[in-house]
Amino acid sequence: MKRSPLTLAILTSLAITTASITHAAPLLQTHGDYSYANHHKANAYLEIDVKAFEDNITRLQNTLKDDTKICAIMKADAYGNGIDLLMPSIIKLNVPCIGIASNEEARVARAHGYQGTIMRVRLASGDEAEAALEYGITELTGSLQHAQALSAIAQKHGKTIEYHLSLNAGGMDRNGIDVDGASGQRDAIAITKLPNLRITGIMTHYANEDVDFVRERLAKFNEQSQWLIQAANLDRNKLTLHTANSFATIAVPESHLDMVRPGGLIYGDTIDAKPAYKPIMSFKTKVASVQFYPAGTSVGYDGTHTLMRDSYLANLPFGYSDGYRRAFTNKGVVLIGGMRAPVLGKTSMNTTMVDVTDIIAKQPVSINDEVVIYGAQGNARIGQAEIEDINEALLADLYTIWGNSNPRLIKP
């Protein structure tokens, strides 16, 4: 039957939509274009330093023992940096495992030809786990009910799902099973006996970034994991034991065990004691206009700032829709020409105003001049501590949103 072009277009759209439903949260690019030429003209953009990313991983590889492997955590679209953009580096550096949250992240990794372990670092819903079978994800489980659901899915499709069992030894009370009591112990053993499931690892996650806390909880994990191996008659040689997040990887070497799970560390979001791990993301925009305003002028919605002097203000074409939250109202600072320009007035949905009066006294400020929102310019830097202090939240609370809201380009 011959169909009209409109009908074909509708059917194609429906097919794409249906195929995409199981991969949502959100849909990600595959083999995208991250060239400077195509994206530096956007209203705001993220500049990703791939060399710094590779240097961070190589530095970590060189600090670990030969029998400790890396599972690079790439959830939240590689912490906003773009899993599609960074997978070639993961493959190039022979990283044997990546940690993901969504099926989309797994799809992108496999589309790049990644043959290593893809480990989900949170519990999946039943529908999500079923949709992920084609990607060979190593699932995470920490309750008998959840494991039984995974087992039923695997049996339904005649497959075996590999999984890591999460223990609550790290104190998160989130994904892990508590084996302090008899009930939890019975459930943990029962999980290892379920059909069509294969346990390939035991893990925990630390609730606090404190050396003494980590060591205390590590001792508990070591005790509980050894108990489970013996009680469930598991083959230790076929299990990967792991507890170390970025903090523990840096600060508590004895927590490395068989594998470490660095997240923020490989993106340069780390503790001050380890400056060798370089931030790989910069957030930038450009000047849209520069205008003169006399003293007494109020700036922005609700007139929250009144100019105390004759001033030159730069109009910047980004705002809270791009991830620059209203927390930066009258508090934020950007870099223009290597100098600091304070945010004046409320951050708008698509516009932010900054004071460039003192900069213009030293050098011109023009349309299209580069503006650094987060990162370095010349000898100046707007870094993690400053952003976190203003936003009153972890930097990850922002850069994961920046990654969803702005195009990325590879630093030239």
Q: Which residues contact 226 (CB under 8 A, 6 or more apart)?
A: none
CA atoms within 13 A of residue 392's CA, in its CB half-sphere: 4
Question: How far is 117 from 91, CA to CA, in rounded Å?
Answer: 12
Nearest to 76 by CA among 324, 264, 327, 271: 264
Q: Which two tokens mark 173? A: 């009370």
Task: Report whether 217 belongs to an annotated binding site.
Answer: no
Amino acid at 13: S
Q: Which of 59, 67, 66, 68 is nearest to 243 (CA)?
A: 68
Burial class (CB in 10 A: 0-12, 13-18, 19+), 403: buried
293 included as an active-site residue: no
**CB-CB contact of 165 with 202 (8 Å):** yes
Q: Is residue 75 among the annotated active site residues?
A: yes
Q: Give the number of residues written for the chain.
A: 412
Q: Is 391 exposed, middle or buried (0-12, 13-18, 19+ CB in 10 A)?
A: middle
Helices assigned H by DSSP within 142-281:
144-157, 182-192, 211-231, 246-251
186 is in an annotated binding site: no
Q: Cα–Cα distance between 361 and 155 in angstroms, integer?
A: 72
Residue 150 to residues 128, 163, 204: CA-CA distances in angstroms? Answer: 10, 9, 20
Count, in order, helices (H) and strands (E) of the chain: 14, 20
**Region for 79 from its dihedrals, namely left if φ exceeds 0, alpha if ψ lies in -120 to 50, beta otherwise:** left
Q: Which of 36, 51, 193, 301 is catalytic?
A: 301
139 DSSP β-pair partners: 163
Q: Which of 34, 45, 69, 75 is catalytic?
A: 75
Place of tokens 């039984």: 148
| DSSP annotation string for 336-391 | ETTEEEEB-S---SS-EEEE-HHHHTTS---TT-EEEEEEEETTEEE-HHHHHHHH
CB atoms within 10 A of CB 230: 10
User: Annotated binding residues for substrate, as ranges?
Assistant: 174, 349
- Which residues are identified as catalytic? 75, 301
